[in-house]
Structure 1
Amino acid sequence: MAQRARSVRRHARLAVAFVLAALLACPCTMAASTCTGRFPNPITDICWSCIMPISLGGLSLASIGGQEDIPNPGSPLCSCGVNPTVGLSIGFWEPVRHVEVVRRSFCLVSLGGVDLNPGIAAPDAGRSVDAGGDQNSFYQAHFYANPVLYWLNVVADFPCLEKGSFDLAYLTEVDPLWNDDELTLILNPEATLFANPVAQAACAADCVAATTGFPRPELFWCAGCQGAIHPLDGHVPYHLGGVRTAELLAQRLTAKLHRELLAWGRHGAPGLCGPYFLPVMDKRAYKSQLTYPIPATAKEAGRCCQPLGRSTVLWGAGKEYPVRGEDFGFMLFRKGNCCVGY
């Protein structure tokens, strides 16, 4: 009897090991059975101190908690138009865009979990393990126009705010480039130049720069500590956690929209007189704040929003949990400089 019991236990262990090996070796879906989410509460889910610092020319006027900033035009005076109107050069960070990274196609988690599927075939998110043992992943992503300051009427008659309403601007499910590494080369053919160990090793410097301040704009093919911007699609060959992967895909989608001229620049001297084409995204012009599943309103080192590419080890810890906590939403604060005429 003892020998038979040992034999049964041995076969049970072998069966469990076989099942685990099969699960790790083959692709597995992460599609949620239901679509859940939450509309970000503008009072409790948005870190309003990220608007700071407000600058006049090169001088910082207001900053709470040592908020980080990029260089502003040096002169406090500016002029715009054919018949120049002299004004003041103002700079601030405007919460104006929202990105969500989701497992289920057409699931709008930032609208409370609305299933928008019109019957179009689109791949759900999934993970797999390649021959080398590395875990790969794929997610869909959505881009919203969300000029919170304008539609809340926080500041009345301020000409520098982007005017508009909350709007779903982009769905990757209807974009054939988002699911194809080769087809997306139409948008970023330069990716072939950086698909080598030397170019990727340079991203370590971008990670250091993003962790201590802002990422390096000249390393435009890097996404800081999250890896590589290219390819501009939803495939991630090194999945090391949901928050990290979602932050990377938020960067990729924003860079993709810049390349498609759907997102423009508003910062620096060129931005004083209005938006301008910026086909290569300036990574320094954005800060991100996690709003879903757990809003990152607790301040890490005095701040609750982070420059693109900053390591998620600190601010992303504990922000992911099974089932309902594996989709992610980010508020994007965009740097803007504006010439306020008088």
Structure 2
Amino acid sequence: MVSFLTTSMTVWAVAITITLSIAFLGASKAVADPGCQDAEVIGPKMITDICWSCIFPLRVAGVNISGGGGSIPDGAVKSPLCMCDDNQGVAHPGVTTSMWEPARLVEFQRVPGCSSVLNGTRFPFDRMNQGHHGEAVYDGGDSSFTHYHYYTYPIMQMLDMFVKQTCNPDGFMDLDIMYLSELDPTWNNDELAFFTNPESAAVANPVATLACTADAVSSTAGKPIKELFWCAGSWGNIYPLSGNQNGGKGVIRDTSLLSTRVLAALHRRGLAHGTMGRNAMCGGNIEPTLPKTQYKFTMLHPVPETESSHVIGESTLTWGLGRTIPAIGQDPIYMIWRWNDCCNL
């Protein structure tokens, strides 16, 4: 009971600190703006709207200790023992531990500067580059564009659950903003995005596009094909790594594809790390190409997924029906899960 109260106090202390920090920095909150919603992420939803069963399976020394259920991604470490060097270069033996870890949040907003994660806070960006979902002619036709904000959200470290500090691949311990698309000129310009990812020219052809059909089928079965790095299964093509899309396919499918583009862009820039496989056992490593099988998602807002998760490219028909609310719930927030292989010393 004491441990539970201590944990609760820690969570609320983190929430209060974040809120006061935002106020101190002078961020404005548009209470009367219907386009900027409060997702109430900082609060009870930190517990109630998370798919806790999605953590499983837990693996220790190569053995599942959580029973059946769950899935282990291709490329995960299978060996029971491992070894890592300390700060002095001395090798120490350890035991392999692996699990799905809720680590990041990404939100998509039509209103520039709106942060539903931070309780409806509005950052001082003008609305010249307003986003749209593109579901009607008056709303941009078939094209769509949304901004994104990328947050660290190591909820298990914040609640002091399961994960040791030595198994924290990038060292983040609390909710923090990592990236704002409003500050990135490549997010609203396809040509600039191409120059930062020139390999997209090699897969901009009908044959490469046709290959994505196989990835769509495999992803819907829960197994993305990692070799097809340009495909996001049934969601579409990953390139270009910008926020523009043609042929609006609905809010859920469009933002799901954008969440994959976000991860691909941040991996290329070294802001997202590889946490799966033998090379990541002693800490996160640079993975310039998106490791698709390392990730899975759950929706956190507006209608949370609390019983299951979905992989990159999985058809929205299996998980996305009824996940938006007209007018007040069309700017989704996704929780990003990553498979964490760690050498527990």
TM-score by length of 2: 0.83
Aligned to 1:280: 289
Unaligned regions of 5+ residues in structure 1, if any?
1-31
CA 1:117/1:214 → structure 2, altered by over 3 Å: closer, same or farther? farther
Paired with 2:274 and 2:343, the residues of 1 have a C-alpha distance of: 15
Shift of 1:195: 1.5
Amino acid at match of 2:232: A
Corresponding position: 1:296 with 2:299: no
Aligned to 1:317: 321
Which of residues 41, 47, 51 is equivalent to 1:47?
51
CA contact (8 A) 2:114 2:121 kept: yes
Unaligned regions of 5+ residues in structure 2, if any?
1-32
Shift of 1:68: 1.4
Aligned to 1:86: 93
More off after superposition, 51-60 vs 39-48: 51-60
CA 1:284/1:78 → structure 2, altered by over 3 Å: closer, same or farther? same
Corresponding position: 1:96 with 2:124: no
Aligned to 2:25: none
Paired with 1:139 and 1:163, the residues of 2 have a C-alpha distance of: 27
Percentage identity across aligned positions?
37
Shift of 1:240: 1.1
Aligned to 2:36: 35
CA contact (8 A) 1:80 1:86 kept: yes
Corresponding position: 1:237 with 2:246: yes
CA 1:214/1:57 → structure 2, altered by over 3 Å: closer, same or farther? farther
Shift of 1:156: 7.1
Shift of 1:111: 1.7
Paired with 1:63 and 1:228, the residues of 2 have a C-alpha distance of: 36
Over residues 253-300 of structure 1, what are the superposed CA-to-partner deviations in whole Å (9 max), with x where a residue is unaligned?
Answer: 111000111111011111111110001010100110000111112x3x
Corresponding position: 1:159 with 2:160: no
CA contact (8 A) 2:248 2:254 kept: yes
Matches within 5 A, 1:9-28: none
Paired with 1:280 and 1:42, the residues of 2 have a C-alpha distance of: 31
Amino acid at match of 2:166: P
CA 1:163/1:321 → structure 2, altered by over 3 Å: closer, same or farther? closer
Which of residues 220, 228, 231 is equivalent to 1:222?
231
Amino acid at match of 2:284: P
Q: Secondary structure at the match of 1:309?
A: coil
Paired with 1:235 and 1:128, the residues of 2 have a C-alpha distance of: 14
Q: Which has the larger radius of gyration?
A: 1
Amino acid at match of 1:317: L
CA contact (8 A) 1:242 1:326 kept: yes
Shift of 1:323: 1.1
Q: Secondary structure at the match of 2:166?
A: coil
Paired with 2:150 and 2:36, the residues of 1 have a C-alpha distance of: 17
What is the root-mean-square deviation of aligned Cα atoms in Å? 2.0
Corresponding position: 1:146 with 2:149: no
Q: How many residues get paired?
A: 302
Which of residues 35, 54, 70 is equivalent to 1:67?
70
Matches within 5 A, 1:317-336: 317-336=321-340
Paired with 1:63 and 1:238, the residues of 2 have a C-alpha distance of: 43
Aligned to 2:218: 209
Shift of 1:181: 0.7
Amino acid at match of 2:159: L
Paired with 1:58 and 1:193, the residues of 2 have a C-alpha distance of: 39
CA 1:103/1:186 → structure 2, altered by over 3 Å: closer, same or farther? same
Paired with 1:156 and 1:185, the residues of 2 have a C-alpha distance of: 38
Shift of 1:105: 0.9
Q: Secondary structure at the match of 2:279?
A: helix
CA 1:206/1:190 → structure 2, altered by over 3 Å: closer, same or farther? same
Paired with 1:253 and 1:219, the residues of 2 have a C-alpha distance of: 17
CA contact (8 A) 1:103 1:326 kept: no
Q: Secondary structure at the match of 2:257?
A: helix
CA contact (8 A) 1:258 1:281 kept: yes
CA contact (8 A) 2:82 2:96 kept: yes
Which of residues 55, 77, 80 is equivalent to 1:76?
80
Shift of 1:193: 1.6
Amino acid at match of 2:239: H
Amino acid at match of 1:51: I
Over residues 151-197 of structure 1, what are the superposed CA-to-partner deviations in whole Å (9 max), with x where a residue is unaligned?
Answer: 12224745313442100111101100000111101221111121221
